[in-house]
Structure 1
Amino acid sequence: MQLQAIVEDINSILWGPIMLILLVGTGVVFTIRLKGLQVRKFTLAFKQTFGGMFKKGQADEDGMSSFQALATAIAAQVGTGNLAGVATAIALGGPGAIFWMWVSGFFGMATIFAEAVLAQLHTEKRDGEITGGPAYYIKNGLGSKGLAAFFAVSIILALGFMGNMVQSSSIAEAVYAAFNIPNVVTGIVIAVIVGLIILGGISRIASFTEKIVPIMAGFYIVGSLVIIFMHADMILPAFEMIFVGAFNPKAATGGVIGVGLKESLRYGVARGVFSNEAGMGSTPHAHAVAKVKHPAEQGLVSIMGVVIDTGIVCTLTALVILTTNVLPTGLFGAQLTQEGFTVGFGNFGTTFIAICLFFFSLSTIIGWYYFAEANVKYLVGKKGVPVFRLFVLICIVFGTTISAEIVWELADVFNGLMIIPNLIALLGLSSLVIKVANDYEGPFLHHKPAQYENKRVR
């Protein structure tokens, strides 16, 4: 198909080495300027995140609790990329790609901290509701309305429409494989569920994500650990393949996978970035509306999103694949992951992956919808939301009836386009991020008057 070939050519340029260097490089810059904050304040980030996990908080027009914001961000981060993306990285880049995925995740922690801080600082009341995201800190921080509008349009197309078509397609295919239910029936069911959630606004979205994210993550983590410990004798060899493969890919698998260091690094970094979304400009929409006493508090919470997504869920997927020794089978993507679970659970492995994909993709649809809606409000106000909701629900059903390949390629184009203005803003406003971090580590943590404490009225 000519259109698909053109789009693929655009993506090969857009998602080439330069983009990956910019994304990881931004993380390196913030890691250096923040003096390794993701390591120094990791314990504090953990306490800040899970200390408020069970606190009752009602999301309203003034925002949502810190944990609800994180859950909404993770809902978008943990998706098909954790199952299919990791398998793709291993299949094309060898086991060593996981090492480079960890590296990109480490630096991504600093990037996502910066995104959350800037999002907290630049929020607005639109039609009586607090909202924020990159469009707001690009407009108000950089002073560029043009770049802000460009970002807003890109994310609406990438996540709100095309991205959600791909997610619904993934659910439908998995459900059909496990239960032989027609794709369009699954699409209609998904649209009804999503419609009931998003019609409830921020309150219902926050309530859904804070409940479903811990359950779905816990279900997948337990299932993965069971299989990994069933093959306990392969755990150390799996880690050996990862670390050896990071620098000598052919030695890691005895040359079974004919890849070099370039492919290992490329696919590891790419899948890491796609999975945790650090620097992409998506998760700041959730972190912007968190009710916290200081912007840096939510910055620390956002770091845990990368830890959960890349450090835990992606790593477990990799270990399932490597410990079950399904790598030489020639399978690719989600099928490779599914084969690993089938080795562990037998025929139930297919059902297990179908259930995981259903909840992973459903939560991603909700998260991406919320991010895109914030940009609809930015462009045209709340009056544009009902029409946007209708189009999203139509896209969800339509996505289950077509090949997802061209849609996914188009989504990648707009994902790439929205990253560019976001990175410009992050680097351009980096001094402000450092100032806020210093304000938090100095006066705020020492119970002295802090410049940014309670900056936003709740």
Structure 2
Amino acid sequence: MDAVVGAVTNVNDVYWYGVIVLLVGLGLYFTVRSRFVQIRLVPDMLRSLTERAETLPDGTKGISAFRAFSISAGSRVGTGNIVGVGLAISVGGPGAVFWMWAMAIIGAASAFVESTLAQLYKVPDRDGFRGGPAYYMQYGLGRRWMGAIFAVVIALTYSFVFNTVQTNSIVDAASTSIGFEGNGPAAVVGVVVAGLTAAVIFGGVRRISGVTRIVVPLVAGAYIILGLVVVLLNLGEVPRMFSLIVENAFGVREVVSGGFAAAFIQGVRRGLFSNEAGMGSAPNAGATAAVSHPVKQGLVQSLGVYFDTLLVCSMTAFVILLSEPEYGTAAGASLTQNALAAELGGWTVHFLAIAIFFLAFTSVIGNYYYGESNIEFLSTSQRVLQGFRALVVLCVFAGAIGSLSLVWELADLFMGVMATINLIALLPLSGVAFALFAHYSRQRSRGIDPVFHRSDLPEIRGVQVWDEPQGARELG
């Protein structure tokens, strides 16, 4: 097993330099070209998040921007925020937090572009709409073969590999809370999570969004409150903590071996695993929303990056760093649990185990939906879909008894491949996203609520919906 982990780690150490160049380079390009859309339009993000869903052609209400946001948040806000941040800090040092923040701000521009495109090139589905990178690769680039490759990779990455990470993290947190060892109790946890997963994923996207829109805000909110309490109790130490983060980020103060390089690589990897900006996952959720303009959902998904990294991940980082952690141990959930216990008492170990369970579970079903959307891109057969669901449930169980090091290294490898394919597609299609952004901005400057109809930009080919003009509405 150690040899396999070592081999995958060696591949990641080389391959990820190329992924980082793509992520940072395109993120900066989108930022400059949009004139910092991810910063300038934060008020529009909040406004779009609260809009009611548009009515579908059959007269039913579509999925709202908030429900689509909840699906992506359900996938984003999970073990990456607690376990992933703990791993980043223990291996990369406090400076990894700085690079997670930097990648979130840069990546929010990529999130805007990819989710705007996913909205534009979405297709009708039994629950409303579906879409994502595979669909904009086919209809926007005219390369179905590329979309098919991406669909296979994302299905493997999210529904199989990432879901093993989620259940593995649940077991890690539960073992710290309850104190069990061995595969027996872990297998019991795996059976429970797999059973709950089956109950939800066989119910479709509406059941998925119905679960995540309730669970994610409640659990994440409670976790953020605990983090704020820890910060307030250690207010005098906060300036020193920020100083340590910045100094370690640039190698001025070395805390772990590797210095700047370790902090940078871990920050980017764990940041991407957590917020998924530019990776091509969140657009699958963003495409489900029934909104009046594609740009609105692009803005909502940018906000999701901030919510995930600048808020939830930061709380984890503050809790850990204010507890004087031990570095170089490659600890995950246990590092955060022990840090909370040191500040607020032993009961928080159990609270965090419960929080990780719920957040990881919503990530599992959000991850599943990303796979489902892409399986349906490859095949409309119900037998294929049911078989896929069964394999997902099996992988959820398998993650409970897997190796922590191996599942995280595999997650990094698959995540890097998926991001590479998506970013290569985004570059030639970004002009379409910015044409939509200009269309949106012209309406906003006139004081009207932006609405898009595909005849507004007839030069854009391959659009499958957006037929009926709905009229511009005056802003209140």
After TM superposition, the score normalised by the length of structure 2 is 0.88
Deviations 1:36-60 (A, max 9, x none): 11111112212322x34xx699999
1:42 matched residue in structure 2: 42
**What displacement does 1:443 show?**
2.5
- CA contact 1:326–1:339 (8 Å) conserved in 2: no
Determine if the alignment matches structure 1 residue 125 to structure 2 residue 128: no
**What displacement does 1:300 show?**
1.0
2:471 matched residue in structure 1: none
Count of aligned pairs between the two proteins: 450
Q: Which runs of 5+ in 1 are unaligned?
A: none
Greater displacement, 319-328 / 292-301:
319-328
Determine if the alignment matches structure 1 residue 71 to structure 2 residue 100: no
**What displacement does 1:457 show?**
5.2
1:229 to 229, 232, 235: 232
**1:363-442 pair list within 5 angstroms:** 363-383=362-382, 384-442=384-442
The list of structure 1 runs, each at least 4 consecutive aligned residues, that deviate by more than 4 angstroms after superposition, is 55-63, 126-129, 327-331, 447-451
Distance 1:334 1:152 in 2: 31
Distance 2:407 2:361 in 1: 18
Name the CA shift for 1:57/1:244 in 2 (closer, same or farther; >3 Å).
same
Determine if the alignment matches structure 1 residue 203 to structure 2 residue 202: no
Distance 1:31 1:184 in 2: 46
Letter aligned with residue 185 of structure 1: V
Letter aligned with residue 226 of structure 2: G
- CA contact 2:89–2:327 (8 Å) conserved in 1: no
Distance 1:233 1:81 in 2: 28
- CA contact 1:126–1:377 (8 Å) conserved in 2: no
Distance 1:211 1:449 in 2: 28
SS in 2 for 1:429: helix
1:102 matched residue in structure 2: 101
Q: Which runs of 5+ in 2 are unaligned?
A: 455-464, 469-476
Distance 2:171 2:54 in 1: 34
Letter aligned with residue 111 of structure 2: I
**1:134-213 pair list within 5 angstroms:** 134-180=133-179, 182-213=185-216
Identity of aligned residues (%): 38
SS in 1 for 2:269: helix
SS in 2 for 1:69: helix
Greater displacement, 119-128 / 419-428:
119-128
After TM superposition, the score normalised by the length of structure 1 is 0.91
Name the CA shift for 1:246/1:157 in 2 (closer, same or farther; >3 Å).
same
Greater displacement, 345-354 / 434-443:
345-354
Distance 2:397 2:245 in 1: 39
- CA contact 1:114–1:433 (8 Å) conserved in 2: yes
**1:251-270 pair list within 5 angstroms:** 255-270=254-269
Name the CA shift for 1:282/1:43 in 2 (closer, same or farther; >3 Å).
same
- CA contact 2:170–2:353 (8 Å) conserved in 1: yes
- CA contact 1:151–1:417 (8 Å) conserved in 2: no
Deviations 1:162-198 (A, max 9, x none): 2212211211232233235611111111122112211
**What displacement does 1:112 show?**
0.2
**What displacement does 1:148 show?**
0.8
Distance 1:78 1:449 in 2: 30
**What displacement does 1:277 show?**
0.4
- CA contact 1:150–1:418 (8 Å) conserved in 2: no
SS in 2 for 1:142: coil
**1:296-375 pair list within 5 angstroms:** 296-327=295-326, 332-375=331-374
SS in 1 for 2:124: strand
SS in 1 for 2:140: helix
- CA contact 2:87–2:330 (8 Å) conserved in 1: no
